[in-house]
């Protein structure tokens, strides 16, 4: 049974803990499919989203999940909070404790910020993306979506293609997928591969046409122009020509392959509009599954704290 106070990454979580979250998410997905808009799972709990970076999916998904389960929700954006007056992250967290928050869901541009917060507050902390480090609930919803389609993660051939260097989604997926036995290949130009990737337990390729052959899952990544200096690739057109996902490339994957992307999508850059909305695209299914997975995480963490 999940016994942790916080969920900060998939690097420090066991396969058994992941399986518990994923199986609980199956029950939560059933609740969503029955269009139930209120459950008592988080009755009497307070959930705060504390976002120092922009978000559409993650923040809305957590807030939807918390509201469905009956929690009181509060939303804080760095731009409109006392952070702009110089308040530190730890002081902000201690004030949220004083306001009797049970769970703080935080996104921050600095890798490790949620870990610092978690050490200094009584509330459970969920990492909703920290810099280039991890985005654990995104990877859990990705893995949930793969499991829903294929039944088992073990032996699944997953290609993660694009801006791996700047991607917290890629890092969390690598940790999670490898722990569950998937065969993971990351593919990017050399300049968009993180240092030391060869030492991790994944295959590395710079040739998308080659590594996509026979893949069960093709996961595109957003080109994170806001996190990188100029000169990592010659031009958007050239990047699209060599690393853009399109119908011709998707055809090389396994006949039953699915296309995934964490969003937001840069159409015409890392993914073509011809396939972003095709039948093989699970991009919007990932978003709905994200609510179920976040319901599971919120429920299990708050239950663990009560025990």
Instruction: Please select the residue that binds ligand CP; options are 220, 244, 263, 272, rule is CB under 6 A.
Output: 263
- Kindly tell me which of 51 and 299 has the beta carbon lying closer to ligand CP: 51
Task: Based on the shown chain and the rule CB under 6 A, indicate whether residue 262 belongs to the binding site for ligand CP.
Answer: yes
Q: Which stretch binds ligand CP (CB under 6 A): 40-48, 52-60, 78-86, 145-153?
A: 52-60
Taking the CA atoms of 159, 160, 164 and 168 in sequence, report the sign of the dihedral they define: negative
Instruction: Please select the residue that binds ligand CP; options are 14, 56, 191, 273, rule is CB under 6 A.
Output: 56
* Binding-residue pattern over the window 132 to 171 for ligand CP, x denoting contact by CB under 6 A: ---x--x---------------------------------
Task: Based on the shown chain and the rule CB under 6 A, indicate whether residue 9 belongs to the binding site for ligand CP.
Answer: no
- Mapping DSSP to helix (H, G, I), strand (E, B) and coil, where does residue 24 land? helix
Q: Which helix (H) or strand (E) holds 186?
A: strand 183-187
Instruction: Please select the residue that binds ligand CP; options are 24, 46, 48, 58, rule is CB under 6 A.
Output: 58
Cis amide linkage into residue 16, ω under 30° from 0: no
Task: Based on the shown chain and the rule CB under 6 A, indicate whether residue 264 belongs to the binding site for ligand CP.
Answer: yes
Token readout for 116 is: 């610092």
Task: Based on the shown chain and the rule CB under 6 A, indicate whether residue 244 belongs to the binding site for ligand CP.
Answer: no
**Using CB atoms within 10 A of its CB, is residue 150 exposed (0-12), middle (13-18) or buried (19+)?**
middle
State in angstroms the smallest separation of the CB of 52 from ligand CP. Answer: 12
State in angstroms the smallest separation of the CB of 207 from ligand CP. Answer: 26
Select from 169, 168, 52 the least CA-distant residue to 113: 52
Please enumerate in sequence order all residues whose Cβ is within 8 A of that of 167, keeping only pairs 6 or more positions apart, or say none: 132, 160, 221, 222, 224
Token readout for 149 is: 């389609």
- Kindly tell me which of 29 and 59 has the beta carbon lying closer to ligand CP: 59
């Amino acid at each position: 049974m999940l016994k942790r106070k916080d969920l900060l990454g998939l690097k420090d979580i066991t396969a058994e803990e992941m399986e518990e979250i994923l199986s609980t998410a199956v029950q939560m997905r059933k609740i969503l499919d029955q269009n139930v808009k209120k459950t008592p799972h988080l009755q009497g709990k307070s959930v705060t989203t504390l976002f120092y970076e922009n978000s559409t999916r993650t923040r809305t998904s957590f807030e939807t999940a918390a509201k469905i389960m009956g929690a009181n929700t509060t939303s804080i954006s760095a731009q409109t909070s006392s952070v702009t007056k110089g308040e530190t992250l730890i002081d902000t967290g201690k004030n949220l404790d004083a306001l009797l928050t049970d769970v703080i869901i935080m996104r921050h541009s600095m890798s490790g910020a949620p870990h610092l917060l978690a050490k200094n507050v009584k509330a459970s902390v969920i990492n909703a993306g920290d810099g280039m480090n991890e985005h654990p609930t995104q990877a859990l919803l990705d893995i949930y979506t793969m499991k829903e389609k294929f039944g088992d993660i073990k032996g699944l051939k997953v290609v993660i293609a694009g801006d791996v260097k700047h991607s917290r989604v890629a890092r969390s997926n690598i940790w999670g997928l490898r722990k569950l036995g998937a065969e993971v290949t990351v593919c990017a130009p050399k300049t968009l591969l993180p240092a030391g990737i060869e030492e991790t337990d994944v295959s590395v390729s710079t040739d998308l046409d080659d590594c996509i052959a026979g893949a069960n899952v093709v996961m595109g990544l957003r080109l994170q122009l806001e996190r990188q200096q100029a000169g990592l690739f010659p031009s958007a057109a050239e990047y699209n020509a060599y690393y853009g996902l399109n119908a011709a490339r998707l055809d090389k994957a396994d006949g039953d392959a699915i296309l995934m992307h964490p969003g937001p999508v840069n159409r015409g850059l890392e993914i073509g509009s011809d396939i972003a909305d095709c039948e093989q695209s699970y991009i919007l299914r990932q978003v709905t599954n994200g609510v179920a997975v976040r319901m599971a995480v919120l429920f299990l963490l708050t239950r663990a704290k009560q025990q």
